[in-house]
Structure formats: C-alpha cells, structure tokens
Amino acid sequence: MRKSNTSAPGEATPNHVTAEQRPISTVDVVIFTVRQERLCVLLTRRAQPPFARRWALPGGFVHVGQDADLLACAQRILRGKTGVQSPYLEQLGSWGSATRDPRGWSATHVYFALIPPPDQPLAPDAQWVEAGAALTGAGPLAFDHADILATALARLRAKVEYTSLPAYLLPQPFTLPQLQRMYEVVLGRAVDKSGFRTRMLAADFLQEAGQEAAAAAGRPAMRYRLRENARPAYFPRTFAPRAR
C-alpha cells in the first residue's frame, strides 16, 4: 500500500517543523594537494568535543548570518585554513544521519578542493597528511570523515582518468612534464609521455606561457597556463594501459 506523506494526521507537516527539529547543518571540505610527490589531504585537530583531539576534515557550521550559500561557506572554510582564494572547488555530496554526530541529527555538505601547496602557513590546527595514511595511521578520524575521505579519494582517482583536474594541483605556469607527474602521483602508475602530451594539447584547455628558464641539465620545457574561462577538460576516453 502506498501512503501519502503530505497530510497524514499527527505527522509534522512542512510548515510545522520547528527550528528545534532541524538537523545540524555543517560544511566540510576535503582539500587535496601534492607535496613531495605525495598526494596529501588537509586535516585539523579538533579542540572541542565531540571527538576532541581527533583528526577531522576542515569544516564548520553553516553561519546563516554570514554565508550567502553553501559554496561561500566552503570557500570561507578553505580560506580560513589555507589562505587560498580560488582553487578548484566542487561539491562531493552530503552525508546526514541520526547517529553521525552525538549532538543529534546532523547533515554535512561536503566539498572537494584541489590546490597547489600554499605559500602562506596553514592555520595552526591544520596539517597536511598523506592521503593513504589519513585513512589508516594516527587513529580514526572524527565523525564519519573516514567514509567521506574514502569517497573523495575514489572520486578524485576516477575523475583524473578522464579530466584535466590535476592541473589545479600545480601553481601556474607549469610544464607538461610537471603536469604528467601530477597524474602519475594521483593515479599511482606511470603514464606514457607521447600519448599524454597529445591528449593534453588536443583538449584545448592550455595556452603557452613562454619558455622555461634553463635551470639544470636538460632542455627547458614550454610553460603553460590554463586558458581563460578555464573549466576542467573532459577527455573522451580514460587513460587505459593495454592490460585491462
């Protein structure tokens, strides 16, 4: 049998849901970067309960008087922890349940950021942790943040197979060999140089930015910037080594 949920008597109908019945609303941001050829994620150590002294993803409550929308809230959190202004930032999803926060029914809107290693110092409670180690080492993460981080990692690795996302892990301008290394770090495997270059240049999201100054040995590389209006490029196929 089907039951309508809009007007059953005794049930809280939309206009009768009071503020006390509202779930807690937070925003968390999974911030990735590559440091020393390692994929790292930013974690903060919680000062207050719940989960005091545990590591957690950077996040906070939606400030209804301050945040215009969810994206602005995520940007505020990102800027607060890293000082970075305009990175790649997309929504990952939301996690909400009666049990994920001991304070009550809670839902978090999760964003996903890619940034170059920042020049400014991090917030004092924040630290870069290698992505794999964040899931295993140094004790469990607060809340359901291990789930969230695992989902973010899976999404990153999946999208790197067919998008130009790793370009956001580098400061501009960058060279194609540098970009290739970003792909290799995230994917955890080597990528063929020739195919890689053809693919990147064909995708038409880069513009030349002058020759690199010759530093050590070797031919200096061409530098590139993201084109204006640079949304990430989507490739028609995934990177696929012969053996499936």
Partner DNA sequence: ACAATAGTGTCTGTAAGACAGTATTGG
Partner DNA sequence: CCAATACTGTCTTACAGACACTATTGT
Q: First-to-last CA distance in the chain?
A: 47
Query: Total number of residues binding its own copies (CB under 8 A)?
Result: 59
Of 67-75, 167-175, 190-198, 206-214: span binding its own copies (CB under 8 A): 67-75
Among 39, 40, 43, 77, binds its own copies (CB under 8 A): 77
Rule CB under 8 A: say whether 28 interacts with its own copies: no
Among 198, 207, 227, 231, binds DNA (CB under 7 A): 198
**Angle at CA 127, nearest 5°, toward 225 and 165?**
30
Closest CB to DNA among residues 60, 177: 177
Rule CB under 7 A: say whether 193 interacts with DNA: yes
* Residue 235 identity: F
| 119: partner contacted, choices its own copies, DNA, none (Cβ within 5-8 A by kind) | none
Q: How far apart are CA 164 and CA 152, in angstroms?
A: 17
How many CB atoms sit inside 10 A of residue 54's CB? 18
Longest dimension (CA), the chain: 79
How many CB atoms sit inside 10 A of residue 147's CB? 13
Contact 33, 115 (CB under 8 A): yes
Query: For binding to its own copies (CB under 8 A), which residues are involved?
Result: 1-6, 11-15, 17, 19-25, 47-48, 60-65, 67-70, 76-77, 79-83, 91, 93-99, 104-105, 107, 109, 120-121, 123-125, 236-238, 240
